[in-house]
Amino acid sequence: MIFQASKYVQHLFKSFHLHGIHSPFVFQFEKKCLRDSTYYEDYELMSRFRESVKNNNTLLHIEDHGAGSRVFKSNDREVRKILQHNSSSAKMSKLLYRVARNFEVKRVLELGTSLGMATHAFSLANEVVQVSSVEASKEVADFTRNNLLSHSINNVDIIQGTFSNFLDVKLKSKPHGTYDLIYMDGHHDGDATLKYFNKLLPYTHLDTVVILDDIYWSRDMYVAWRKLTKHDRVTAAIDIYDLGFLFFRKEQRQQLFHVLV
> What is the helix, strand, coil percentage profile of the chain, to 5?
45, 20, 40
- pTM assigned to the model: 0.92
Rounded mean pLDDT, 103-131: 98
CB neighbours of residue 60 within 10 Å: 21
Q: Give yes or no for residue 20 having a pLDDT over 70.
A: no
Other Cβ atoms less than 10 A from the Cβ of 50: the count is 19
* Residue 20: alpha-carbon gap to chain centroid: 26
Over the chain, what is the mean pLDDT?
A: 91
> Which pLDDT score, from 0 to 100, does residue 24 have?
87
pLDDT given at position 21 = 67
What average pLDDT does range 77-89 have in this prediction? 92
Domains of the chain: 2-258 (3.40.50.150)
